[in-house]
Chain A
Amino acid sequence: MKMNGARILLECLMKEGVDTVFGYPGGTVLNVYDELFGCKEIRHIMPRHEQAGTHAADGYARATGKVGVAIATSGPGATNTVTGIATAYMDSIPMVIITGQVPTALIGNDAFQEVDIVGITRSCTKHNFLVKDVNDIAPIIKKAFYIARTGRPGPVLVDLPKDVQIAKTEFCYPESVELRSYKPTTGGHPRQVSKAVSMLLASHRPVMYVGGGVILSNAAPELTALSRLLSIPVTTTLMGLGAFPGDDVNSLGMLGMHGAYCANMAMTHSDLIVAVGARFDDRVTGKVDTFAPHAKIIHIDVDPTSIRKNVRVDLPIVGDVRDVLTKMIKKVEKSEGDQAAYRESLAPWHEQIAGWKEKHPVSFTRSSAVIKPQFVIQKLRELSDRDAIVSTDVGQHQMWTAQFFSFTGPRTLLTSGGLGTMGFGLPAAMGAQAAFPGRQVIAICGDGGIQMNIQEMATLVQNRLPVKIVIINNNFLGMVRQWQEMFFDKRYSQSCLELPIDYIKLADAYGAKGFVASKPSEVETVIRQGFAEPGPVIMEFRVAREEKVLPMVPSGASLNEMLLNA
């Protein structure tokens, strides 16, 4: 049966199992919207800004592991998606973004609402396509989903001109994808795996350094199993939080700039680092020259370009981390006798780590006069559901969430690690809530970042998405203030958010509920009220304005040069 291109697009999405899309209409996608009208199979959620739509698709993908889908019109709609695409690209999130484009005959003519979005997004997508013929829609969509979710995942953009949406052809969805130029390596090389296990069993001070790759490849159970089998300490990056239970005895917590003292010391004193799905980002390594000076490094990653990009590596293993970890576990299990002996041999190492933990635990000074932001995060953990999904914006509250929420399961923290995008938290939570209507979803934001996509309150209310928005209000762009305090002589240039906002009225204006706490004694009540409310909620906490995120490795310093209380 012949169908028009717009219909074919929807049929393709259904074939890919897409049940939810986040999109915003406009001239060049009206044909797609006409087909969506009355479409039962695909739920369409309209954000109030395309950036938020893209973040929502991203949040949906992070929470579910499926490919998130966003739609935008050409020109301004398409450019509005760029921040969301770059955010997903930096964190390797599988996403397909469909943009409308002016008719092929007008491309290149500076037509109304024309922009070269394929050119603009070349450096922030895993791949992108301009569809020039209606017969190419099905094969290109098939490829787009395949590329987005395989290998190192990432966003793929498909630009679809209006005339291509209108043209008709037979619909036929390809069974498989043949891309002679794209064959990601997924199976770790057995010989390299054997070597890794030998190196591990020969080490005395091993650390597993875990990144978002473990979550992306659904390898959290394998990681936990391997750590427990040999009693290996695990530290995670911001993106790796939840890949290993934060309350496990072997957990060192997060490492890096705002990482735990014990994690950074363990890295510095380690004789073997097993990097799993992590990329040695500069926020993690500190000064590269002095990073882990005594350690041999095993680096497991599906993306060969990550290996040896920033640090020297003694044993590279290219492959899906889940496959590699599974093979490592098998190998270790075969060496029956050694396991117990090895675990025992690590006693001095564990003792040393326990010493660091005890000396400088991740902590804060309590107060009964002002609300400490860390206290809010601790209370949120205490009172929230065990399987709650938490998203954050970027800034101090993000680091406090990382330090004090103690994430225990994968895909429960949604945060912009690579790009550090303010405005991400609320729409990402929206996407996660759309995927899991029955779960508790909490967006923890600063008073700065919340303003960047506050309009999504409308989307939450309209679509009955009961996201619990937590605003850590310090009346400052807190993280900026912290840097200005520490490195710019307290010259607070443009970091004070002078205007107090009435968040109760704001929530009310959108048809939601708002609660405010300004004393420590009110924190628990507000959280309970917020969680009890069936719809979307703003919970504002007026916190100590001058609190700092500590410890901190100043940028450019070595990991063991931490400021513990500046």
Chain B
Amino acid sequence: MRHTISVLVENEFGVVSRVASLFSSRGFNIDSFIGAPTNEEGISRITIVTHGDESVLEQITKQLNKLIDVVKVIDFSDGSGIEREMALIKVTAEDESRAEVLRIVDIFRAKIIDVTSRSYTIEATGNPNKIDAIIELLRPLGVKELVRTGAITIGRGAKGWAG
């Protein structure tokens, strides 16, 4: 099963590699891994998408909590989070296919951010499933380059992570 976990960490030296190496040394999977600072002084947030059964997930959360620099671990498996991802997609766009690309971009409410006579570069954001979908539609037209950020998640509702 796929799980999205947010890890709030102290901005200490080497903390990202601590979290990442925990996954590798214990044989946990990483589908995507993003870390960046937050609005709170000294705290960064790492969002990890992983997969495994319930007992694996339990060990992952416990082991993350055990790291000295980890302030909080939030597991969004219950659907309590909103997930977003961004992708930059460079597609071949010549002659008739130019219109087709524009149509797809329009349907997905994506943006063209760079144009040449032979290509479009598209910025798409949304739920990771939506990103998958737009890529699938563009692929037959010729995707030259693709960059995805991996998912980030925030809890639903009025409360912040600290309550």
Question: Which A residues contact B (CB, under 8 angstroms)?
Answer: 118-119, 122-123, 126-127, 130, 132, 147, 179-182, 303-305, 308-309
Shortest distance between the CB of B58 and any CB in chain A (Å): 7
Shortest distance between the CB of A127 and any CB in chain B (Å): 4
> Residue B39 at the A interface, CB < 8 A?
no
Shortest distance between the CB of A251 and any CB in chain B (Å): 33
Shortest distance between the CB of B94 and any CB in chain A (Å): 47
CB-based contact B68/A122 at 8 Å: no
> Residue B18 at the A interface, CB < 8 A?
yes
- Shortest 5 CB-CB contacts between residues of A and residues of B: A127-B68, A181-B71, A305-B62, A123-B25, A182-B68
Question: Which B residues contact A (CB, under 8 angstroms)?
Answer: 9-10, 13-14, 17-18, 21, 25, 55, 58-59, 62-63, 65-71
CB-based contact B71/A123 at 8 Å: no
CB-CB under 8 A from B71, the residues of chain A are 180-181
CB-based contact A308/B58 at 8 Å: yes
Total inter-chain residue pairs, C-beta < 8 Å: 37
CB-based contact A122/B18 at 8 Å: yes
CB-CB under 8 A from A119, the residues of chain B are 14, 17
CB-based contact A309/B59 at 8 Å: yes
CB-based contact B68/A118 at 8 Å: no
Once bound together, how far apart are the Cα atoms of A59 and B41, in whole Å? 41
CB-CB under 8 A from B68, the residues of chain A are 126-127, 147, 179, 181-182
A116 (CB) vs chain B CBs: closest residue: B14
Once bound together, how far apart are the Cα atoms of A305 and B55, in whole Å? 11
A305 (CB) vs chain B CBs: closest residue: B62
CB-based contact A181/B66 at 8 Å: no
Would you mind naming 9 contact pairs between A and B with Cβ atoms under 8 Å apart? A122-B21, A132-B13, A147-B68, A180-B10, A181-B9, A181-B71, A304-B66, A305-B62, A308-B55
CB-CB under 8 A from B25, the residues of chain A are 123
Shortest distance between the CB of B116 and any CB in chain A (Å): 40
Once bound together, how far apart are the Cα atoms of A360 and B9, in whole Å? 54
CB-based contact B21/A303 at 8 Å: no
Given contacts A308-B55, A309-B59, contact A181 B69 (CB under 8 A): yes
CB-based contact B70/A305 at 8 Å: no
CB-based contact B13/A305 at 8 Å: no
CB-CB under 8 A from A126, the residues of chain B are 68
A181 (CB) vs chain B CBs: closest residue: B71
CB-based contact A305/B63 at 8 Å: yes
Shortest distance between the CB of B5 and any CB in chain A (Å): 15
Once bound together, how far apart are the Cα atoms of A127 and B68, in whole Å? 7
Given contacts A147-B68, A179-B68, A181-B70, contact A305 B17 (CB under 8 A): no
CB-CB under 8 A from B18, the residues of chain A are 122
